[in-house]
Chain A
Amino acid sequence: MNAVLTLAQKDLRLLFRDKGDVFFTFIFPMLLAILFGFIFGGGGGTSAIDLALVNESSSSLAKGIAGDLTRDSSFAVTTFATREEATASVRAGKVVAAVILPSTMQDGLDGLFGGSGIPIEAVIDPSHRAEAGLIQGKLHELAFRQFPRMFTDGAQMSKLFAGARKTIAGADGLTPAQRLAATGFVAAGELFTTSIDRSSVKSDTPATAAAESDAESASSAGAWSPVAVTVAELPPRTGGPRSSFDLSFPQGLVWGLAGCIGAFAGSVVVERSRGTLARLRLAPITQAHLLAGKGLACFLSALLVEVLLISMAVVAFGSSIAQPFMLLVAFVLSAFAFSGLAMLVAGLCRTEAEANGAGRGGVLLLAMIGGGTIPLFFMPPFLRTMSYASPFRWVVQAVEGPFWRDTPLGEQILPLVVLAGIGVLGFGVGVRSIRSTLGR
């Protein structure tokens, strides 16, 4: 066992000393995963944020907010009839967040003075936490933008002040002094609004600017706000990707594992052609030790790639793991399968040129049709059928199941069995082929 560990340690050290192998095994897959994540809708950049909007309120205040939200160039708004539909859209990754204007949003100053504020709800995909702050800020701004409109609408304001007087009269918790002050405040407001020359209010642009400024000062005031935006994160869901990164990181795995095959198959061929393999064979170890050492190093590096990539998806991009234990099983079997494939390529390639050309080329092709470049579900049907011939496809399927699909256990068996079979076949043929060239 010591000999196997010594051999594996040497191969891992060699892998990490080779900048090219480190790049193609660890860095390139990560970059690719991140890039594809953004390409397939991970957000970022300056493009409009996709929002779902549900207006449950019949108030003119809600109409105003909905209209402003739809016109805002920061957002691409899709309107839904119910909050369930909107939430489902977030869950499916079609939109970043759902904004709900609840039925409790009424035209009146009750909430404003009662401390509850104008209620607005938002449901956000946790993988888009970066956008959550922006959305929340915008909703505050839009709510504030409605106040000048309310104050310049005489009929509306009369209704509001009448309602406010009634609320003050009926409020039991107020002290006489507070009641007097509140009544005075309403009266002053009424006097102020009746004195406004409404003909001068042509456009809401200056008012909007003032509202934006008010919003900023209110936000900075912090303690009290007439707008109550409640943001909830979507709970872990099943059946669909939380974000495009759920798809892109398993894609990255494909390239990481391809890098492992390239590095280790190449290393066996290089050792054979440069004579170090002969020197190793002279040591008092068996062929089994030699091949086990190589296989172990490849297995460990494949496992490391898998753990690194999925960890990055979870930590940096908000992905969550539906079935951790089964994901570990998928990692182990994929690493085993690809160690076997590395042996197969090493056994079939006799020269460094063959390993670098035909070996890496073949692996590249299999990676591409196995979901390395285009996610499997985006593929046209004929390509999807072809993908069954690629070991990479089975890795994607085996990893996605316990990662984000939350696939029932029974459905995870097939890809895992296929991966185990690929490993056994790869090791069987590869080891046999390498042994025939070793000659002892």
Chain B
Amino acid sequence: MLTLGDIRKRFGATTAVDGLSLQVSAGEVFGLLGPNGAGKSTSLAIATGLLAADSGSVDLLGLGSPTNASVRSHLGLAPQEITLYAELTARENLLFFARLYGVANARRRVEELLAIVELESRANDRIGTFSGGMKRRLNLAAALVHDPKVLLLDEPTAGVDPQSRNRILELVRTLARAGKTIVYTTHYMEEAAKICDRVGIVDHGRMLDVGTVAQLVTRHGGHSAVTVSRGDQDERVLTADPVAEVTRQFAVGGVTGVRVESPDLEAVFLALTGRSLRE
């Protein structure tokens, strides 16, 4: 569906993308997980055809490069910034983009989208008056206006309140169920774990590994930590088989409490990059 092959991009002395490759299948939600400045947004910009790579290839739906306008029309992008017109109303913004894409029956499509992002009651308000979460939802709606097959969402929950974040995540799940192919960049591990079928860990412009969350944890997460309490004494044991370890500890006797910590994406990232995702 979307293939990036050995993409490289430099800005002066800085290498933004360093031989990144990925393949996203139809109907898949693919997460690009990495800290700020890892090269996620640059990779997306290259995937849309907005930015030319120094080398490498991009293919969308087997149709070729999205630098071609007809290929690009299958793509929807919700950029990290709110790329809408603050002086226009929600309806005017969506109608403008719908007309630009030549959407047939643009007005009906706009009303559908306003309903999907739950902004019908604010449709005639200028978006300069919207909250951050409402702007994010409209930003996403603008990416959907021409009903694209592939959707690129660049940190769509950045800076929004928990309620709006949940609405956006629910919307992404709904879109995935409707058969959209979604590439989702984030630096929130829990989001990636919740909604992504596969995750790619990116740092310094390189794809460090790709897989399901379980596969990545198995490969890089390391051992589970079993903490056993006996009275005031706590003992922490790292083990590949936490069930066996807990059984063994109970067999020894005197156990007053047990806590098992399974490795997560944070541990995966730490193992792959040598630093925390939030650094």
Contact = CB atoms under 8 A, between A and B. Distances in A.
Interface of A: 2-3, 6-7, 10, 13-14, 17-18, 274-276, 278-286, 439-440
Contacts of A13: 87-88, 92
A285 B77 CA distance: 15
A279 B85 contact: no
A274 B81 contact: yes
Contacts of A280: 100
B52 A439 contact: yes
B50 A6 contact: no
Q: How large is the interface on B (under 10, 10 to 19, 20 to 34, 35 or more residues)?
A: 20 to 34
Interface in B71-111: 72-73, 75, 77, 79, 81-85, 87-88, 92, 96-97, 99-102
Contacts of A3: 100, 102
Contacts of B69: 284-286
Nearest to A16: B87
Contacts of A281: 50
A6 B87 contact: no
A400 to B, nearest CB: 36
The 7 closest A-B pairs by CB, nearest first: A17-B87, A275-B81, A275-B83, A284-B73, A279-B83, A284-B69, A6-B99
Contacts of A284: 69-70, 72-73, 101-102
Contacts, number: 67
A3 B96 CA distance: 10
What is the predominant secondary structure among interface residues of chain A facing chain B? helix
Nearest to A286: B69
Given A14-B85, A279-B79, A285-B100, 4 more contacts: A274-B81, A278-B45, A280-B100, A283-B97
Contacts of B87: 13-14, 17-18
26 contacts: A3-B102, A6-B96, A6-B100, A10-B96, A13-B87, A13-B92, A14-B85, A14-B87, A17-B88, A274-B81, A276-B84, A278-B79, A279-B79, A279-B142, A282-B48, A282-B49, A282-B50, A282-B72, A283-B73, A283-B100, A284-B69, A284-B70, A284-B101, A439-B50, A440-B52, A440-B67
Nearest to B126: A17
Contact of A276 (B45, B48, B83): B83
Contacts of B270: none
Contacts of A18: 87
A278 B51 CA distance: 10
B75 A282 contact: yes
B100 A276 contact: no
Interface in B102-156: 102, 126, 142
A282 B77 contact: yes
B49 A440 contact: yes
B100 A7 contact: yes
A63 to B, nearest CB: 69
A283 B84 CA distance: 14
B102 A2 contact: yes
A9 to B, nearest CB: 8
Max chain B C-beta neighbours (<10 A), residue from A2, A278, A282, A439? A282
Contacts of B67: 440
A10 B72 contact: no
